[in-house]
Amino acid sequence: MDLLERRDEVMVLSEIFGDELFKFDEKHSKGQISNAIELNGSVIKVGVSKRTINDNHEREILFSKDLDHIPPISLAFEFPDNYPSLSMPKFSLSCLWLNSKQRSILESLWNENKGYVILFNWITFLQNEVLEFLDFEKEIIIEEKDVSSLFNTPLKFIQELESYDVSRKEGIFHESLFTCNICFQDKFGKECVQFKGCDHVYCKICMRSYFETKIQEGSESGIVCPTHECSVEALPTQIKELVSEKLYSDYENGLIEMSLRGMSDVIRCPMRHCRVPTIIDIKSNSGECPSCRFVFCSNCLCTFHGLNPCKVPREKQRELMDKYNNADDEERKKMEKIYSQKFLLESQNEILSHDLIKDICTNCPNCFAAIQKTEGCNIMFCTKCSTDFCYICGTKLLGSNPFEHFSVVRSPCANLLFDLINYEDELEVPSEDE
């Protein structure tokens, strides 16, 4: 009779829970079932407390975390020959958040139902009533001594529970169906990306294109959710999963550069072969690269020059003066303190002189001396290096026959030995009335 009842019980449980959750070894009359604890959408606080109680009769909480899912209770059982008529099944409970005393609660259920099959009652109780029975409906607080037997520290215990919570959420997400907010196609979560913080969901195909476009555009901050006016940023792991290794490297480098720009006391070493981030001494405006040991001025990025004003290379003078001319009074005073007012004035005059020479002179093609023509033909003779050249195009001319250049039909200087004169402008043409 007992054997028949046990077989019927195993068959019913197998039908209800399936082979993944319910496992039974008929030869040895033992099995195991994993019982997921249903929180029905509520959040539960799990924490670790000290054993002692303070003066206010409250337990001091060391660590705590709000979770949507808690690890299941695993029930291992073995049928004795006289179950269920006389003896209850041998059992053991495996659960991170139950202590040895709390695991004895199943014995009381057997005493209330002695002589009847008990596994389904146990399983139902563990799934639906155990939290209420243990007064764990809102929070699960475990004493530090009960945690130390399984984990080195209370923090590791909390981290283990949090890891399960994240894993369970991912599992539910992967099995659920979502509509992509870009292409509006329905896809399972395993084919989608969900932004943490706003919970907006998009398919991976659309997100791959979106991430690639943003990185190629050179976004100077994190990549935000594409939903209008949403500012939640994608996690680095989400981006790395969908884009190529090179693109992700570009994205990382961009974020590093953005971070460095936000640090007033850190800039990259100006040496092209180095470029290592270097901490700047604000008082002296100097930095020493930790890699190549180059000591430089943080203002002009040249070799450190002590108290002397910064000197700017010729190729950067125009850029500096444009910045100075467009600056307000406060910014100009700062620049004059860094570069000196005398240097800025000299740079301005030098740029104006250079522009004037460029407008009215032609450079010798041999020695590059600037030469201005005041009158005569367009055959010029450089007194510095004795080179003949065309004043119009700067081409070096043959010393034996410099006039040949102006007689070549396809030459842009053909027939331009002398500059053309618009005689209608030069001569006053009398009107018909005169």
pLDDT digits (tens, 9 = 90+) for 73-82: 888 999 999 9
pLDDT digits (tens, 9 = 90+) for 118-150: 999 988 888 888 777 777 767 777 777 777 666
- Let me know: does 350 contact 317? Beta carbons within 8 Å: yes
Task: Calculate mean pLDDT across residues 362-389.
Answer: 90
Find tokens 């009074």 and name the residue. 329
- What amino acid is encoded at 34 in this protein? S
- pTM higher than 0.85, yes or no? no
- At 429 the pLDDT is 47
What is the bridge-based pairing of β-strands 44-53 and 139-143? Answer: parallel
- Whether 113 has a pLDDT exceeding 90, the answer reads no
Least Cα distance to 44 among 63, 67, 64 occurs for: 67
Q: Catalogue the E-assigned strands of 244-304.
A: 266-268, 277-281, 286-288, 295-297
- Class of 2-152 per CATH? alpha beta
What is the domain partition of the chain in residue ranges?
Answer: 2-152, 176-261, 314-360, 369-434
- At 262 the pLDDT is 74
**Which CATH fold would you assign to the domain 176-261?**
Herpes Virus-1 (3.30.40)
pLDDT digits (tens, 9 = 90+) for 77-99: 999 999 999 999 999 888 877 76
Q: Is the dihedral of CA 264, 266, 269, 272 positive or negative?
A: negative
- Whether 296 has a pLDDT exceeding 60, the answer reads yes
77: Cβ contacts below 8 Å, ≥ 6 apart: 30, 31, 32, 33, 89, 90, 91, 119
- At 80 the pLDDT is 92
pLDDT digits (tens, 9 = 90+) for 176-235: 999 999 999 999 999 999 998 899 999 999 999 999 999 988 766 789 999 998 999 999
Name the β-bridge partners of 75.
33, 93
- At 24 the pLDDT is 92
Instruction: Kindly give the interhelix angle for 329-339 and 341-360, rounded to the nearest 10 degrees.
Output: 90
What is the bridge-based pairing of β-strands 177-179 and 186-188? Answer: antiparallel
DSSP 321-368: HHHHHHS-HHHHHHHHHHH-HHHHHHHHHHHHHHHHHHHH-EE-TTT-
| Per-residue confidence band for 244, with pLDDT thresholds at 50, 70 and 90 | very high
Name the β-bridge partners of 45.
66, 139
Measured CA to CA, the distance from residue 375 to residue 31 in angstroms comes to 112
Q: What are phi and psi of 300, to 5 degrees?
A: -100, -10
For the record, the structure tokens of 412 come out as 């842009």
9: Cβ contacts below 8 Å, ≥ 6 apart: 117, 119, 120
- At 433 the pLDDT is 53
Measured CA to CA, the distance from residue 365 to residue 372 in angstroms comes to 14
